[in-house]
Amino acid sequence: MIEQTQHVSAQTERYILGSMIMDVEALITAADQISWEMFYERKNQLVFNALIDIYKETGKTDITILDDFIRGQEATRKLIDSVYLCALTDDVVTTANILSHTKIIKKLYLLRRVELFGMSVMENAKFRDDPDALIREASSQLIDLADEQVEKKDPTVPAIMAEVHEKWKDIKEGKQTHIPTSELLFGDMIPGWYPGHFNSIAAYTSAGKSTLLAQIMVDAGREGASQIIFSLEDSRHERMYKLLANIADVPQRAQISGTFGNNDKARLKEAEEEMREWPLLIYSDVRAIEGMRLKILKAKMRGKVDIVAIDFIQNIVEPGKLYDRMSYAALTLQAMAQDLEFTLILLSQIDNETAKNPNSKFIGMKGAGEIAAASDAVIWMAPEGDKKGGMERDLRISLKKNRKFGPLGGRDFEFSPRWTRIQRRNEWDDGRLG
């Protein structure tokens, strides 16, 4: 069987490598799905690793750079010549089928592993006189083989404790293990944005969710955070208006219409210069979860990703009705944040019933309860003007869920005079919400 699959494997491997050379997106997809050991031919393993290394260093995939890289290493130049590298792209008409080809590679790799396992059992059977022991040993090996397909991390206590001690060591040495939160907002309740945490900001339509998100991201940007925003409602330049408004105190309306004076112009220029130094990416054309994953992975391959924000989850494009989409999105994004180790901040609308009763203990997100269930923290925003006779700019921000750090509570805020930021009116309430 191994011999029969070599031809298919070789063709598929060349297609994948050729696609990776021609298209960065194909490289990211392949890197997310397969690893070098899944390639059958040794020279293809080396080319795959070389392409990954080149991308991490340069952010590009280029046949000339690849050829120079191969020539520069003794282990690779003996096996791979320039003719072979150039031929990799000859049969690639489109890179659109990269995902289906990675699935073929994974299947062939698994089949080779299974066949080698079977051959090993047959060989051992020739020299063993205890069939029960042979069966137990073979069963154990088969279970281990199956586990490799789903379990990538060592689940034992020593392995996990080693990770824990490594994190404690990083903290002791002063390494950045999280992005501090602003004391003005949640610093005493959520001390930081930590890798793997899933945080939701929930409110009814036009309650200020995007303004709060902009404020969080500006504060995090000033702490050196590497951030990605998936803007599913606003265009990317409209998202930029919100961030600039938060820094420069120049309203979005003035930016959109261009009706701002010299003082505002000067502040906008200062804000722009500050933001140019931030590792911030804004996408308004990526609406499916798989596309988000690839963009995040692309950024991580070249550095780090501290915070990913999605505004807002109900606009994610996935198959099915709203409940199915929201259930799938919540659980998939939760797993993605943990696997790729970034903080997820997700904006969500609340359902109509909850909007009518904002003091309810029930956390009613629009579409599915899985959003609140998957969240480590739920930051709840409710306008206060109608209830307390205050102005429209008054609002209440509460922590209705705080799974990682414990304390719950609410604080009174208001929009700044120019509606560009959110500022505190009172301290947090003593005690916990019910």
The string of pLDDT tens digits covering residues 363-384 is: 777 877 788 888 999 988 888 7
H or E stretch at 396: strand 394-402
Taking residues 156-183, what's their average pLDDT? 86
What is the pLDDT confidence band of residue 258, given thresholds at 50, 70 and 90?
confident
Which tokens go with 31?
Answer: 């890197």
The C-alpha angle with vertex 196 and arms to 336 and 378, in degrees rounded to 5, equals 100
Residue among 18, 86, 12 nearest 51 (CA): 18
d(CA 202, CA 378): 7
Taking residues 406-432, what's their average pLDDT? 74
Q: What are phi and psi of 170, to 5 degrees?
A: -60, -40
pTM: 0.79
List of long-range contacts for 29-35, beta carbons under 8 Å, 24+ apart: 29/98, 29/99, 29/102, 29/294, 30/98, 30/102, 31/297, 31/301, 32/293, 32/294, 32/297, 33/99, 33/102, 33/103, 33/106, 34/102, 34/105, 34/106
Parallel, antiparallel, or unpaired for β 179-180 and 192-193? antiparallel
CA 128 to chain CA mean position, Å: 50
What is the pLDDT confidence band of residue 431, given thresholds at 50, 70 and 90?
very low
Residue type, position 277, single letter? E
Top pLDDT among 178 and 7 is at: 178
d(CA 257, CA 238): 12
d(CA 307, CA 345): 7
d(CA 151, CA 167): 22
The string of pLDDT tens digits covering residues 321-334 is: 888 888 889 999 99
> Which residues are CB-neighbours of 243 under 8 A, at least 6 positions away?
214, 217, 218, 271, 275
Residue type, position 349, single letter? Q
Q: What is the pLDDT of residue 389?
A: 42
Report the range of poorest mean pLDDT among 112-121, 272-281, 307-316, 371-380. Answer: 112-121
Beta-bridge mates of residue 200: 346, 378
Give, as one character, the DSSP assignment of residue 189: T
The string of pLDDT tens digits covering residues 143-162 is: 666 666 555 667 788 888 98
Taking residues 109-131, what's their average pLDDT? 75
Q: Considering just the CA atoms, what is the radius of gyration of the chain in Å?
A: 26
Indicate the burial class of 215 (C-beta count within 10 angstroms; 0-12, 13-18, 19 or more): buried
Q: What is the pLDDT of residue 148?
A: 60
